[in-house]
Structure formats: structure tokens, C-alpha cells
Amino acid sequence: ASRGVQALKAYDPGHDLVALRRRFGAAQLVELGSNENPYGPSPVARAAVLDRLHELHRYPDPLGADLKRALARVHGVREDELLLGNGSHELLMMIAQVFAGPGAEVVYPRHGFAVFALAAQAAGATSRVADALPRTDAMPAGHDLEALLAAITPATTLLYLANPNNPTGTWLGAEALRAFLARVPDHVIVVFDEAYAEMADAPDYRSGLALRDAHPNLVISRTFSKAYGLAGLRVGYFVAPAGLMAVMERVRESFNVNLLALAACEAALGDAEHLAWVRARNAEERTALGEALRARGLRVFPSQTNFVLVEFGERTSAVERALVERGVILRPMGGYGLGDCLRITVGTRDENRRLLAALDEVLA
């Protein structure tokens, strides 16, 4: 293996969920570790999957033309500005393979999504990690845009930034991002990972889709895994300048998005009502969960996602282990340099209630 690959650690999903589901029973387990959508997809997406079951012996459309057409309509972009992936994870890896490599530098923030580091290392590129803003009493250990700019060199080919961010849940406002993009040299490909964009409702939040005029090489990454509730089908996509997408198309595996996934996502895009409902439910539960945790004396990062990052201090791993024993799965953050925090997916009202009840036992 290459030196970059030899130095890699495999992606850590946090827990052996298969074993835990067997132990507690899937219905008893409160799974709040992976930022999934607890409500599931639109019923029309489910129906579209069932509709295609008679076609399983056929290859899917290698171009994903119908889904691309639907996405182009939803976002007001051209179809040649879209690239479909087997989850956005695949595309985040692929872009480093194509545009970074030995000799190239990849910039991303500390406390950024784990796949950025993996992608850079697997490609054999050099990582330049920009420090985050310090955590204060007011909290935000948010991205430091000045530090990101300072990390860019003539060898930088790629810069990753998630907005809103996983694992902190924090976000950057549109004005700051526009000014930032104007200062990033044109040769750098800027990837805005917007896996949680549909969950954001802060007045100053804007998708990078509204900032595409601010940089010639801006790539927006989206996913059907979160707000659309289709994590199990694995579909993500990029919106970017056609020239960049044409180069990536050359290395994309022809059938990377499967038949059922293409059908489900196209149908899901047609159900704006379900998406709006998920968004509203999530916002309501996010506020309630944040308040309940703060009422227990815990520090909660402000979030524009479907999870909250919570500071537990020295008790963190003891709390996490005790919750697992009660069938409540949260995500430990040691791998992100946030070992005194746990990341909690916003569940249904009932799941959040069960989490809080277990937490009260553990903290008592």
C-alpha cells in the first residue's frame, strides 16, 4: 500500500451496532450516535423503491439522468454541474483522489468532518489542519476562517469546510463566507460539505449554492442521508462547475448509485412537504433537547443540525459507557479532539425522553 494508506486508520463508526441491536432488541435501543433521521423517508420514496423491485436483474441508469434532472430543477443548476455518489462520503474521497495527491496540500479545519483527513491521507496529499476558534464560556469552538486562509499555500489544491459543521453543529453566516471565498486563491478547489443544510434555519445561514459567484471553483456537497432520511440507500451529490464535474466523471464507477436509490431519491425530491415536516420537527426537538440538557447544568453547543454537541467534562467516558449499558447510544468525540464532549443526535420526542431519563439515572 502507499505510505498515505499505510498511515490510515479505518473510519470508526463508534459502536458495534449490530451486536448492540442483538443485545437490546432494535426497538429498545435508542440510537442517537449517527445523526440519522428518526422519521425515515417520504412515503413516496418508499413506494418508489417497491415499484422497482421487479427490475433488480437490470443495471441502473449509469448516468442517473432522471435524478439529475430532478436535482437540476430543485437547485436551479444545469445537469452537467451535478455528480452523483454512493453517499457524499464517496464523492468527498473521490475529489481528493482526482485533485490532490503526493505533493499537493489539503486544508481543512480542526474539529472538521473525519472524512476530510481520510480523503487527504488516502490520496497521499499533505494535510494542513487549521486550528478552530478557542472554546469559551459562550462556547463556539467554530471554524476560524482566518486560520484556514493562513493555511493555504501555492501547493494547496483542495479546501474542505462543513457548514453546518459535524461534529460541533456550529455554522458560519453568509456574509463571512462570501468574504472568505473572495480571499481564497482561484486555484484552490473549495468543498462546502452541506450534509446538514436542510436542517439549518438560522437567519444568517445560506447554502453555498447562493455563493457560487464568489469563487470559480466552489463545490457544494449534499446528501440524501440526513433530512431526506435515506441513509441506508447511500446517495450524495456535488453541485460544482461543469469542468470540475467532467473530470470527476472520468473516475466515477459507472453504476455507483443503485437502481432503488435512484428511484427513491427522485421521488423524495418531489415530496417537499415531508422535507418541511422533518425540518420543523427536528428544529422543535433540537430546541427542546438543548433546553433540557442545559437545565441539567450541561453546556450545549449551538446547533443548526440534527444533533447537539454536549460538554460532560471529566465524566464523559463514564457517562457514555453507562448510557450504552442502558441501551442509549451516543457518539464519543475523542477521535475529533473533543474527548470531553458527546455528540447526541436529535431523536423523536420519545427517544429524547428516554435519553434524558437514562441520563438522569447516570448523572444522579
Nearest approach in angstroms of CB 357 to ligand PMP is 26
Using CA atoms, how far apart are residues 37 and 347, in angstroms rounded to an integer? 8
- Least distance CB 200 / ligand PMP (angstroms): 12
- Of 39, 87, 74, the C-alpha closest to 272 is 74
Q: Which is nearer to ligand PMP, 202 or 363 (CB)?
A: 202
Minimum gap (Å) between residue 121 Cβ and ligand PMP: 17
C-beta nearest to ligand PMP: residue: 87
Nearer to ligand PMP, 117 or 358 (CB): 117
**CB nearer ligand PMP, residue 25 or residue 255:** 255
Phi and psi at 66, nearest 5°, equal -65, -45
Q: Cβ 304 to ligand PMP, closest distance in Å?
A: 12
99 vs 113, beta carbon nearer ligand PMP: 113
For ligand PMP, the closer CB: 193 or 311 = 193
- Burial of 273 (C-beta count, 10 Å sphere; 0-12/13-18/19+): exposed
Minimum distance from CB of 17 to ligand PMP (Å)? Answer: 14
Nearer to ligand PMP by Cβ, of 88 and 303: the residue is 88
Which C-beta is closer to ligand PMP: that of 233 or that of 358? 233
Sequence-separated (6 or more) residues with CB below 8 Å from residue 257 = 60, 64, 67, 84, 85, 86, 234, 235
Closest contact distance (angstroms) between CB of 223 and ligand PMP is: 3
Question: What b/e readout covers 142-155, taking b as 16+ CB neighbours within 10 angstroms?
Answer: bbbbebbeebbeee
Write down the residue that cell numbers 478557542 correspond to: 134
Minimum CB separation of residue 91 from ligand PMP in Å reads 8
**288-294-300 Cα angle (round to 5):** 90
Residues that bind ligand PMP (CB under 6 A): 35, 87-89, 113, 162, 166, 193, 195, 223, 225, 231, 236
E strand or H helix that includes residue 220: strand 218-223
- The secondary element (H helix, E strand) that includes residue 233 is none
Q: What nine digits make up the cell of 347?
A: 431523536
Task: Name the grid cell of 82.
Answer: 451535478
Q: Find, among 102, 95, 104, the residue nearest to 2 by Cα.
A: 102
